[in-house]
Structure 1
């Protein structure tokens, strides 16, 4: 099969023929029809992000495709089924605290690196091997629609955060980082889950206005000034009532004062979800007042990805018409142009933009 292979950090992807994957018990082979390219893939491949990857590797986290082969432990899947390949792979020998690898992207800790040695190759290829439990049925779609369904991978991240925070219909959410790719998805997902309003702070007034255009007056934009205290008070005022949940998805380049300004808008007994990259590039840590957390009974959730059943539940939201995939503007490349796709994703990293490889 043809695949794009990362052989060393800082080098282009090599487009070459590699052996087809061979399934064992507990594994499924999927013909990859479409897979998203993360906007920061260039930073992963250069080594700038210092992601844990045992090279050489076929990159690509998750994808949309059709089942080619199944193992004896699969009782619901059938050859030809359209599926989403969930990249969040968990070790099977510890249900309470499993090691995790993002297939084709990175791993967490020594256990995750061991897991990556088996489930190492991702979706920038014509076929990929996926754990049986990570193959989620989509129902009937067309090949063209597979490109749009790649947006699931982006929406799943904030969905996991809101599940951890037990977001309830009618609540008010603040999305810190709302003008980014994952942040704009968080706005969409929160509203699909029944949020009454979403406070959307940011510096880019054009993007803020576009969020209001897309989702109506339920989105409450806030133009940030850079003054922590002033911004906090403005966000509280615009919310028009208590903020039940703050969701942070800021990138590594953002300072902690911006994050703190958003977090400390949450009401007493409120919940905070941290899913961003702040601090990963070094610098000061996130300084939150101990008395404020304790006396206001604030719950802070650190969340990496989402629970195993999240993908199936999110697919149901799409099928019910509550979450729209057609919000995304997609640009597709074939696998021979994988390096062009990576460059395109970096240059078009805005909200509701999706770069896709169709192997």
Structure 2
């Protein structure tokens, strides 16, 4: 099969003929129809993000495709079924704390790297091998819609955070990082889940205006100034009701005081979920006042990715029409233009935009 191979960090992707993946028990082979290209893929492939990813490797996180072959322990998946290939591979013997690797992207810890040695290659290829449980059925779709269904990969990350905080209909959510790819998806999801209001702070006025245009008056934009105390006050004042929850999904380039300003908007008993990359590249740690957390009964939780059960319920949100994949603009590239796709994804990054490879 053909695949885009990263020979080493900092080198261009090379289109090569590589062996077809072989099928084992507990695995499926999927024909890749569309593979999303992350907006920060160039940072991963250059080594700037310092992700644990041994080279040479076929990169690529997730895909929409059709089942080619299933192992002997698969009882429901059939060749031809449309599936989402979940890149979050978990050890099966990890109990409540499984080791995790992000197939084709990175790994977490020693156990994650052990998984990575086997589930190493990602989806920038004509075929991919994934654990059976990572091939999530999405139902029948038109082949030309495969690229748009790649939005599942963007939506699943913030959806995992909303489920982790037990976000409920009627609550008001503040999205720290609302104008980014994941942040704008969080806004769409919270509204689909019945949010009363979504406070959307950011510095990009055009992106804030676009969120209001897309989703209406339940979105409350706030323009940030960089003054933490001023911004906290402005976010509180923007909401006509107390803020129940904050989801932070800021990228590594953001300073921690921006996240702190958002969390300090919470009402008594409020919850904050941290899902971003703040501090990953250095800088100050997030500092929150102990007395304020204690006296106001604040819950602060970290959440990395999502539980596997999130995929089915997200597909149901899409199928019900509550989440509209038509919000996303898709730009597709053939596999031979993988390097162009990576460059385009970086320069054309923004809310409700997807770049995909179509092997």
Q: TM-score range by the shorter chain?
A: over 0.9
Deviations along 1:258-284, one digit per CA (max 9) or x if unpaired, are 110001101111110100010011011
Q: Secondary structure at the match of 1:160?
A: helix
Structure 2 residue aligned with 1:96: 96
State the alpha-carbon separation in 2 of the partners of residues 74 and 193 from structure 1.
32
Q: Secondary structure at the match of 2:233?
A: helix
Contact conserved, 1:59 with 1:124, CA < 8 A, in 2?
Answer: yes
RMSD, aligned CA: 0.6
Alignment partners' CA distance in 2, 1:94 and 1:276:
25
Partner in structure 1 of residue 201 of structure 2: 201
Shift of 1:142: 1.0
What aligned pairs does 1:34-53 form with structure 2 within 5 A after superposition?
A: 34-53=34-53
2-side partners of 1:124 and 1:160: how far apart?
25
With 30-39 and 189-198 compared, the bigger mean Cα shift is at: 189-198
Once the two structures are superposed, the pairs formed by residues 258-337 of structure 1 within 5 Å of their partners are: 258-337=258-337
| Rounded Cα–Cα distance in structure 2 between residues aligned with 1:25 and 1:166 | 35
Residues 156-305 of structure 1 mapped to structure 2, 5 A cutoff: 156-305=156-305
Contact preservation (8 Å) 1:10, 1:47:
yes
Superimposed CA distance per residue, residues 322-358 of structure 1 (whole angstroms, 9 cap, x where no aligned partner): 0011111110001000000000000011111110000
Distance 1:270 1:289 in 2: 15
**Structure 1: how far apart are the matches of 2:326 and 2:131?**
29
User: Are 2:34 and 1:3 equivalent residues in the alignment?
Assistant: no
Shift of 1:228: 0.6
Distance 1:263 1:156 in 2: 22
2:343 alignment counterpart: 343
In structure 1, how many angstroms separate the alpha carbons of the residues matched to 2:208 and 2:312? 30
Q: Which moved more, 1:25-34 or 1:222-231?
A: 222-231
* 2:57 alignment counterpart: 57
What runs of 5+ residues in structure 2 fail to find an aligned partner?
A: none
Deviations 1:86-127 (A, max 9, x none): 111000011210000011100000110010011111100000
TM-score, normalised via structure 1 length? 0.99
d(CA) in 2 for partners of 1:310, 1:135? 13
- Structure 1 stretches of at least 4 aligned residues deviating more than 2 Å after TM superposition: none
Contact 1:54-1:113 within 8 A present in 2 as well? no
Distance apart, 1:234 and its partner CA: 0.8
Q: 3-state DSSP class of the match of 2:74?
A: coil
Q: Secondary structure at the match of 1:117?
A: helix
Q: Which residue of 2 aligns with 1:153?
A: 153
- Of stretches 123-132 and 288-297 in structure 1, the one that deviates more from structure 2 is 288-297
Distance in 1, Cα, partners of 2:312 & 2:62: 14
Q: Distance in 2 between matches of 1:24 and 1:79?
A: 15
Look up the SS of the partner of 2:194 in the other structure: coil
TM-fit CA distance, 1:13: 0.5
* Matched positions, count: 359
Structure 1 stretches lacking a partner, 5+ long: none
